[in-house]
Amino acid sequence: MAGTPTLAVVLDGLSTAGLTTGCRHGVPWYVAHLGSQIVSALSTPDRPLADGLADAIARVAELHPGCDLNNPGTPSATVAILRENSGSIDHLVLADSPVVFDGPDGISVITDLRVDEVLPELKVEVEQYETHTDEHREALQKLVSAQRQVRNTPEGYWVAAAAPEAAKHALSGTVPRVDVHAAAVMSDGVSRLVTEYRMATWSEVFDSLRSGGPCELINTVRKVEATDPTGRRWPRYKAGDDATVAFCQW
């Protein structure tokens, strides 16, 4: 996560499932540098978010030219950005880290679920095994290997990796400031409390954020996951995914 008083950026590095990436730095390095480059690229308030993201992706690629950036498993991340301007709020989502608005007309969720539309049969294979088993690990590697072949292609889905073109495929927009009371920018490791576990509503998520901040919400996610450590009730890729939240209110 990165940000300024008017900008919130949440990145979620994609799992390598133990497969090679062609990069000696790794996903944490990529995420850290992409976050700082996005903040730098969007230092001009009226610059389109997609243009800033494309510039940031290109800058990070320039930082490790010795790595194989054409490797389909090159380090990558989902992206969610929120920016406050005078009288309006801009948002951008690339892959499944959502931006959620709470306003006078209720909840609005901005998310990109194109990844869910590819390779459904391999996802079913992963979900039939308990987490932390050899069968689950092998099925997950098979899925991730296949996902890499359609990642950042018209036939698949888009994430931030080494090609700036991916930014053109992000979902972005602007809403009037008066239509928003609060917003949450989060990784899918948090949003699944609502979308997959169905153990809270979005209204309850904002209640939790207002009363106890991101820590309280993330603790709730962890407590829920602890009741199903092997993924029998809620089949998933790992027992607990990375959980990040930026909470903004006006």
Count the alpha carbons within 13 Å of 92 in the hemisphere toward its beta carbon. Answer: 29
**Which strands form 106-110's sheet, in the order they lie side by side?**
106-110, 99-103, 182-186, 245-249
DSSP notation for 238-250: SSS----EEEEE-
**pLDDT band at residue 157, thresholds of 50, 70 and 90?**
very high
Both tokens assigned to 67: 């790595």
Question: How far is C-alpha 109 from the chain's CA centre?
Answer: 14
Q: What domain range includes position 217?
A: 2-249
Helical H runs in 42-118?
A: 49-63
Q: Specify the pTM.
A: 0.95
Total of domains in the chain: 1
CA 121, 155, 142, 166 torsion-angle sign = negative
Q: What is the pLDDT of residues 90-110, one digit of tens each?
A: 999 999 999 999 999 999 999
pLDDT at 45: 87
- What's the CATH code of the domain at 166? 3.60.40.10
The CA-CA-CA angle for residues 171, 156, 134, to 5°, reads 115
